[in-house]
Structures are given as C-alpha cells and as structure tokens.
Structure 1
C-alpha cells in the first residue's frame, strides 16, 4: 500500500486543517440564530427547485420569475387548503371532547388506577371549568372573535412577534433570491474551492444532493402514508380526535421516532373514550397499543424498505444519538437533516480514512430488496 509518510510538515498541515474546521464549527454555532433563516430558505429552495424547473423546462415558462411565483402560489394554496380542510375537523372534534370531559367529570369511575381523592379533585376541577358551554361551536367562534382584537394589541406590542414576523419575511426573501439564481449559487460554491480540491468537493456536494433528495422525498411519502394509516386505525377503534391525531403523528414521523411523543395524548384520549362508552380503560388502551404496534411493523417491514431502501442503514442507537447532536446544534432543522448528514459523514469517513484507496461511489441507489441493484451492462 502506497501511503504518504507522516512528516512534520504533514502533521502541522493536518493540525492547522483541524483547527480551521473547529473554528468554522464554533463560528457556525455562534451565528446559528443568524444562519438558521438562510438554511431554512435553502432547504425550501432545494425542495421547490425541481418544481420550478418543471414549469420552466417542461411547461416552457419563458420567465423563471413566473415559474418561481407559480410554484410559491401552489405551495401557499396547498398549505391553505390543508388548513381549510382540517379546521372544521378540529372544531368538531373539540366540541365532542367537551361532552366527553363533562361526562367524565360526572360519571366516570377509575377506582382501579386512581385514588378516590384524586378522582374527586379531577371531577370538581373539570366541572368548575364549565367546559361544555365554552367548547361548543358557536362559543368557540365567538370567543375567538372577542379575543382577536385584544390578542392583536398584545402581540403587536410584543418584540418577539415582530422579530418572528421579520424572520418569516427574511426566509421568504432568501427563498426567492436563492431560487432565482439556484444554479449560479450552486456552481459558485465550487468556484471558491481551490482547484486541486475542487473535484472532491464537487463529488461531496453531488452526493449530498442525491442523499438529501432521496431521504426527504422518501421520508415525506412514508410520513403521509403513516399519517393516513394512523387516522384509519384510530377511527376503527373510535378514538376521539382520530383524524387530527393520526395526521399529527404522521407529520411527527418526518423525524424518526418522534411519533412516540403521541403516547401521552393517546393515554388521555383513551381515558375520554372509556368515559364515553363505559368500556374498560385498559381495553381502549390495548386498542391504541395494537394500532401503534401494527403501524410500526408496517413502517419497518414494508414502507421503509420499499420506499426508503437502504438510505441510512444506521443502528437505532446511532439514530437517536444523531438526532440529539444535530437537534442541539440546529434545533428542529437539525433533527430533520440529522440522518442524511450523519449517513454521508460516516460514508466519507469509511472512504477517506478507513479505505483511502477505495474509489467506489459513496451512496448507491436505494433499490428495493426484491430488485437487483446492479445492471446487466448491456
């Protein structure tokens, strides 16, 4: 094996390079609040750029600005349509919850797992809240109308609201400017690299783009399917807030294992379902556990292998560690990009540190297990 000797000059260069990397990392961490809007905008631009390209290349939109605004309009309208669809469901389910809570405060008996004193305290507290009248449809809307002006004055005087609005505007402006010159910006990142390192950096960025593209598209499809299946499962066992709760768990599924945060609200919803029907709390809870287990098996055995392939191939412990580290560094965005970034870092470590003479492609196509990965070469 032909390897370079570790001379004093080489060691010094390696230490300087390591110091530069540490300095860049500390600088990014220090400026994370400033860089976060740009990173969010870049992520959105990365996801929306294929749609912009579709309008410009396939539908022959002559002006890229028109393609960008058409894409943004579709994106905003789609988001608004989802809100318009879910809002009546949420109001309807909240109205049902009011009746269940009042029913529980009057009649529900949980002697088997709550002391009598706790039961009395919970009943008295819920009854004094007068939830039934407060959570009816017309009262909800009237309450919103009455509170809206007061909340507006309160929020309008809040510096945090102004800052949050400014961040949204900045992200939107970043998004437009990045989409306008997406190709130039991507190529410009390569031009600032010294020529002797340009090819490897170009390869890294190309692999990063492929990996992120596969991961986000695949994980988004998995999250949508899981959300729909959760909604169906909770509807079958007639759990309150079945559709809203199921879709929420699907959204949380964009980050692996984050859907487990739904365990606590599931326990409370099981309590209300038991109060409504007089059914044993533990039988309702068993139904919820079965839904979670069946959906987890479907996701692990069918959806993830067929849709995601072997995009990550990480051990669950490594996944949790990766989510913790990236989440602490970049918040929610860090948790979203944690797995593809960790996978690429491990792949490059194996290639350039453990196997420096190996020249195969880092990330292979994540084909389903029942399909051949290699082609015939014809």
Structure 2
C-alpha cells in the first residue's frame, strides 16, 4: 500500500503537477552532474562482470575492483593513449584537406561552389579542435576534472554496487523489492552489454574500413576509418554520416570510385547488421530505428554531441525498465 503522503500528492492534480515541474527543473539545473553520473554508471556496468569474475574465484570485493581498474588502465595506457596524438593529427590533416576534396568533386560534377566559404568553415572548425590530447579530451568530456570525476564515481559505484542496490530497493514496498532488484540487475546487465558490444563493433568497423580503403588506394584511409569507428556508437545515423566524407574523397578521384566506396560502406553495414550485431549485441536491447533517430536528435538538441551519444543507452535503460514492469504486471 502506498504511503499516505504519496497517495495524497498523486490524488491532488495540482500538487502532482507541481512535483513533476520541480523534478523537471531540478533535472535541467543538474543535467551536467547527472550526465557525469550516468557516464560513470555506464562505465561501471561495462566493467562489473570482470569484478564478478574475480569474486567467483574468492577474491575480496575491494581487491577485485582494484584488479579490474588496474587491468583497464594498463590496457588503455598500452594500446590507446600512445596512439591518440597520431590519430588526432591524422583527423586534423583530413579536415585541412577536405575543402580541396569538395572543390575537386564539384569540378568533376560541373558544379560551381565557392571554395573560400568551405575553407573558412573548416578553418573555423579546426580552430575549435584541440591541438593536443588534453584539449580534445576537454571537448569530449568537458574538462580533465570531469574525466577524473567519471573515473572516481564509477570506481566507488563498483565498490559499493551491492550496497547501493539494496539501498535503492528499500524505497519500494516490501512485496515489490524482489522485482525492483531484478530490474536493477537487468538494466546494469543490458547497459554493460551495450557498451562492450559497441566497443567491439567500433573496433571491427574501424579496422575493416581502414583495410578496405587502403586496398582501394584512397587517401586518408586511417582518419576516415577512425571516423567510421567512432560514429559506429550512434546506430543508424552514425554509419551514414561516416560514409559521406569517404565518398567525397573518392569522388575527387572519379565517380566510379565514389560508387565503389559507397558500395563498400553499404556492404560493411549489411555484414554488421546481419552477422555481427545479432551475435555481439544479443544481450543488449534492440532499438527500433525510428526510436534511435528520435532519441539521437533529442539528445543532440539538449546536450550536443554528448547528448546524441548518451541518448541510446538512456533509451535502452528506459525500455528495459518498461518491459520488466509490464512483464511483472
């Protein structure tokens, strides 16, 4: 049975509306903090199976969390961090050359464009892109402090996850606590599976795109492949957007090359959607393409690129909760 105060609030339409508006206002005011917490939760959800792996082998929880973080940081330090400056310089070089590719493509198609406008546009974008690793990280995460916040918060979420679950469950009536715990665990499982799956898909798409574009002899194969891998995290829209610069670069060579590259990107997507996604993402939530597009547009409108990226896991979380509530009812 509901608490008398809760029942009174929801029976009174004015108070219920006021409560909803207050919650909405609080979310808007605290959105940056909530985004950091949500990113921390996604990171925790992705890494938590490793903690459980150690715990099943009688490793204490605290040590299991430390081991998980040490392994993760070591892998990043060895495989990722040393390559970031090189990747950034390659993408920057592509941006600098892109106006010329647009100009060459336009000449091939007998289209008159003002190349100076494109050069000015790309010069402005280049000025906003960081010239070192710190500035790029700052643009993506909102500063070094935010990155450290995500790392620390996700660490403590992982450390106290079992206790946090039990505390959240206590909010619900006693008869519903078992169902609430099950939903919390399923959300964590699905969100974690989503991030792990997206990382695998991004690496595969980036790698296969780089190999294919290199074999075709296309300039800037590496930065174009990096763009394809990064945008893979945005379903439906990401692969389409990533194909555009590659097709423009190919079009500067010949219309035939542009068709070949377009066919290549389409072929990679067909292989991914029909073979890879069903296997890799089987534990994650499948989203309707229309929902994906609407969520990405909404997220981008609210919080830019970060909002677009976080829209998918947020939608997945809501769908898992909704499905489980309907199933339990």
Choose which of 171, 180, 186 in structure 2 pairs with 1:192. Answer: 171
User: Aligned with 2:110: secondary structure?
Assistant: coil
Mark the CA change 1:77 to 1:333 in structure 2 (over 3 Å): closer, same or farther.
same
Asked if the contact 2:243/2:265 (under 8 Å) is kept, the reply is no
**Alpha-carbon distance, 1:296 to partner:** 1.4
Mark the CA change 1:184 to 1:216 in structure 2 (over 3 Å): closer, same or farther.
same
TM-score by length of 1: 0.64
Q: Which moved more, 1:177-186 or 1:303-312?
A: 303-312
Q: Provide the residue aligned with 2:82 in structure 1.
A: 84
Q: For residues 84 and 145 of structure 2, what CA distance do their matches in structure 1 show?
A: 27
Asked if the contact 2:187/2:321 (under 8 Å) is kept, the reply is no
**Alpha-carbon distance, 1:53 to partner:** 3.2
Whichever of the two has the greater Rg, that structure is 1
**Alpha-carbon distance, 1:246 to partner:** 1.5
Structure with bigger helix share is 2
Asked if the contact 1:323/1:338 (under 8 Å) is kept, the reply is no
Relative contact order higher in (CA < 8 Å, ≥ 6 apart): 2
Q: Does 1:343 align with 2:319?
A: yes
1:23-172 matches, within 5 Å, as 23-58=22-57, 60-62=58-60, 64-80=61-77, 81-85=79-83, 87-88=85-86, 110=107, 112-115=109-112, 164-172=143-151
Q: For residues 339 and 197 of structure 1, what CA distance do their matches in structure 2 show?
A: 24
**Alpha-carbon distance, 1:190 to partner:** 1.0
Cα RMSD of the aligned pairs, angstroms, is 4.3
Q: Provide the residue aligned with 2:266 in structure 1.
A: 293
User: Aligned with 1:110: secondary structure?
Assistant: helix
**Alpha-carbon distance, 1:40 to partner:** 1.7
Q: Which moved more, 1:312-321 or 1:17-26?
A: 17-26
Q: For residues 338 and 50 of structure 1, what CA distance do their matches in structure 2 show?
A: 20
Q: For residues 201 and 21 of structure 1, what CA distance do their matches in structure 2 show?
A: 22
**Alpha-carbon distance, 1:290 to partner:** 0.9
Q: Provide the residue aligned with 1:6 in structure 2.
A: none
Choose which of 246, 256, 262 in structure 2 pairs with 1:266. Answer: 246
Q: For residues 310 and 210 of structure 1, what CA distance do their matches in structure 2 show?
A: 8
Q: For residues 323 and 92 of structure 1, what CA distance do their matches in structure 2 show?
A: 27
Q: Provide the residue aligned with 1:183 in structure 2.
A: 162
Q: For residues 92 and 334 of structure 1, what CA distance do their matches in structure 2 show?
A: 26
**Alpha-carbon distance, 1:23 to partner:** 4.2
1:54-99 Cα offsets, whole Å, 9 max, x none, are: 34443x545x44433332232223223224246557767988999x
Mark the CA change 1:108 to 1:221 in structure 2 (over 3 Å): closer, same or farther.
closer
Q: For residues 313 and 41 of structure 1, what CA distance do their matches in structure 2 show?
A: 22
Q: For residues 208 and 75 of structure 2, what CA distance do their matches in structure 1 show?
A: 21
1:164-191 Cα offsets, whole Å, 9 max, x none, are: 2322232232223222222111221112
TM-score by length of 2: 0.72
Q: For residues 27 and 105 of structure 2, what CA distance do their matches in structure 1 show?
A: 54
Q: Provide the residue aligned with 1:316 in structure 2.
A: 289
Q: For residues 224 and 311 of structure 1, what CA distance do their matches in structure 2 show?
A: 18
**Alpha-carbon distance, 1:294 to partner:** 0.3
Q: Does 1:224 align with 2:197?
A: no
Q: Provide the residue aligned with 2:279 in structure 1.
A: 306
Structure 1 residues not aligned, in runs of 5+: 1-8, 130-143, 275-279, 357-378
Q: Provide the residue aligned with 2:3 in structure 1.
A: none
**Alpha-carbon distance, 1:289 to partner:** 0.3
**Alpha-carbon distance, 1:259 to partner:** 2.7
Mark the CA change 1:204 to 1:233 in structure 2 (over 3 Å): closer, same or farther.
same
Q: Provide the residue aligned with 1:206 in structure 2.
A: 185
**Alpha-carbon distance, 1:35 to partner:** 2.1
